[in-house]
């Protein structure tokens, strides 16, 4: 794959990234060095040891870390922007399950997933955690397609053995066996930046027995897990009915071994997580995939993200296509701020809104931490970067700071301004 090999090089230009959770840092007329797929830091003068590296002059552009999409459903890409007047459960029945079932056809899966991957490649996302469908071969196909893009991704074969339409239901045994087979095949596929992730859909569609077995597989194969948690009030109520022995929704995952110390875990949404649930998430280092666009589209609500950050929970950002209509993580950053402002104004004046630097943090370093040292240009971080021609968005202003330029790009920009893109040092665009 000539087009996605790791390169050693230097960028010369203007850089902005998160100094910490609440503050940005910027450099102008500086050198950012990438070797072996990692940042070697930003320098005013290029150190002697890097002077033989090729220099790419990106002055005039704004270079920022790549955006990390912690939760997206690849098969739902095909009907994004449809049925947005519905809430979660009827929307799953009408749009999601019938579409996902189509991926039993390998030819359809190949075409549809290629479309999805092409858009992710062209956009601002450098890494993603992806739900596929329950189909083993289509999921493997998606992994191969994602590998070709050069992006770093986790991809999960979805499991579900109850409460889904019969045409899309697995037996518990089949679900486990297919998962084992998929994990073996994924291992053999020789992929370098596309990894399997155990993916029980959510408690309502997975029996305890199935989840216990999946949790064992996660430990046995040393792979992470991802699922959904406390997204929509009707879903939360349903879980209470289904899981009589649990003290909260998250407890259903704890009892099944899915949320457990030592197993890296992403839970999408956490809109309605109470104190006990938040404790569980914190104690187990669970990553919250905050999905603001999806949460408003499906009338789920608004997660108290600022409170999560202040309490030290792990928070990343996500598009959650197709609950979120767009694959654009640029839109997601903007949406996270807007939703948190409205939550603060109308619902909970005690939890402040996310600031712009905080929203950018969760979209980069916050979610990036799930992948290791990702989301920063500090020395030793994997080199994910976007080179943005933000000044092609018209304005008379000539006095903007790099931080102001980044805010403006987030509010006005889209993939048209992306002039370069790297993931772990691989040139994607």
The residue ranges that bind a second copy (CB under 8 A) are 78-82, 84-85, 108, 111-112, 115, 118-119, 293, 296-297, 299-302, 325-326, 334, 337-339, 341-347, 353, 355-356, 394-397, 400, 404, 407-412, 414
Element (H, E) at 341: helix 329-346
- Cα–Cα distance, 74 to 51 (Å, whole number): 42
Which residue is listed with tokens 């077995």? Answer: 213
Could you tell me the two tokens for 97? 């399950």
Least spacing, CB of residue 83 vs a second copy, in Å? 8
- Give the nearer residue to a second copy in terms of CB position, either 369 or 410: 410
Least spacing, CB of residue 327 vs a second copy, in Å? 9
Helices assigned H by DSSP within 350-426 = 356-361, 367-368, 402-412
- Give the nearer residue to a second copy in terms of CB position, either 171 or 401: 401
Q: What is the largest CA-CA distance in the chain?
A: 66
- Cα–Cα distance, 203 to 161 (Å, whole number): 10
- Cα–Cα distance, 117 to 409 (Å, whole number): 23
- Give the nearer residue to a second copy in terms of CB position, either 232 or 252: 232
Q: First and final CA of the chain: distance in angstroms?
A: 14
- Give the nearer residue to a second copy in terms of CB position, either 216 or 395: 395
- Give the nearer residue to a second copy in terms of CB position, either 311 or 341: 341
- Cα–Cα distance, 306 to 284 (Å, whole number): 19
Least spacing, CB of residue 313 vs a second copy, in Å? 21
- Give the nearer residue to a second copy in terms of CB position, either 280 or 353: 353
Least spacing, CB of residue 32 vs a second copy, in Å? 25
- Cα–Cα distance, 382 to 153 (Å, whole number): 14
Least spacing, CB of residue 361 vs a second copy, in Å? 14
| Number of other CB atoms surrounding residue 114 within 10 Å | 15
Radius of gyration of the chain (CA): 21
Report the alpha-carbon angle 223-228-230, nearest 5. Answer: 140
Least spacing, CB of residue 320 vs a second copy, in Å? 13
- Give the nearer residue to a second copy in terms of CB position, either 45 or 85: 85
Least spacing, CB of residue 147 vs a second copy, in Å? 21
Least spacing, CB of residue 133 vs a second copy, in Å? 14
- Give the nearer residue to a second copy in terms of CB position, either 254 or 412: 412
Q: Which of 57, 66, 65 is nearest to 11 (CA)?
A: 57
């Amino acid at each position: 794959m000539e087009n996605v090999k790791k390169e050693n090089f230097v960028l010369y230009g203007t850089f902005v990234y998160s100094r910490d959770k609440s503050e940005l840092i910027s450099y102008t007329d500086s050198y950012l060095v990438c070797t072996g797929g990692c940042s070697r830091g930003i320098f005013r003068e290029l150190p002697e040891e890097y002077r033989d590296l090729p220099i790419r002059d990106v002055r005039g552009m704004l270079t920022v870390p790549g955006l990390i999409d912690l939760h997206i459903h690849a098969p739902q890409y095909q009907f994004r922007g449809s049925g947005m007047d519905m809430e979660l459960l009827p929307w799953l029945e009408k749009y999601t399950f019938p579409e996902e079932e189509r991926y039993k056809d390998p030819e359809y899966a190949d075409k549809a997933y290629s479309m999805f991957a092409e858009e992710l490649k062209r956009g601002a996302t450098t890494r993603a955690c992806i739900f596929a469908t329950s189909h083993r071969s289509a999921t493997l196909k998606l992994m191969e397609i994602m590998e070709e893009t050069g992006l770093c991704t986790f991809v999960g074969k979805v499991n579900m053995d109850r409460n889904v339409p019969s045409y899309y239901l697995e037996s518990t045994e089949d679900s486990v066996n297919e998962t084992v087979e998929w994990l073996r095949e994924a291992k053999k596929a020789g992929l370098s930046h596309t990894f399997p992730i155990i993916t029980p859909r959510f408690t309502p569609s997975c029996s305890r027995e199935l989840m216990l077995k999946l949790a064992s597989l996660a430990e046995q194969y040393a792979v992470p897990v991802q699922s959904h948690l406390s997204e929509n009030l009707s879903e939360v109520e349903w879980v209470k009915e289904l899981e009589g022995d649990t003290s909260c929704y998250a407890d259903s995952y704890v009892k099944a071994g899915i949320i457990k110390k030592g197993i890296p875990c992403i839970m999408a949404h956490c809109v309605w997580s109470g104190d006990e649930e938040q404790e569980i998430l914190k104690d187990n280092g669970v990553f919250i995939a905050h999905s603001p666009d999806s949460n408003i589209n499906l009338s789920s609500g608004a997660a108290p993200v600022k409170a999560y950050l202040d309490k030290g929970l792990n928070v990343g950002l996500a598009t959650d296509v197709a609950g979120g209509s767009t694959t654009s993580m640029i839109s997601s950053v903007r949406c996270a701020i807007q939703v948190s402002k409205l939550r603060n104004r109308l619902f909970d004046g005690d939890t402040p809104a996310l600031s712009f630097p905080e929203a950018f943090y969760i979209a980069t370093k916050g979610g990036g931490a799930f992948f290791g040292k990702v989301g920063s240009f500090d020395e030793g971080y994997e080199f994910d970067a976007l080179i943005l021609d933000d000044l092609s968005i018209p304005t008379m202003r000539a006095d903007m700071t790099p931080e102001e330029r980044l805010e403006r790009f987030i509010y006005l920009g889209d993939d048209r301004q992306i002039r370069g893109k790297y993931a772990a040092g691989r040139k994607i665009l």
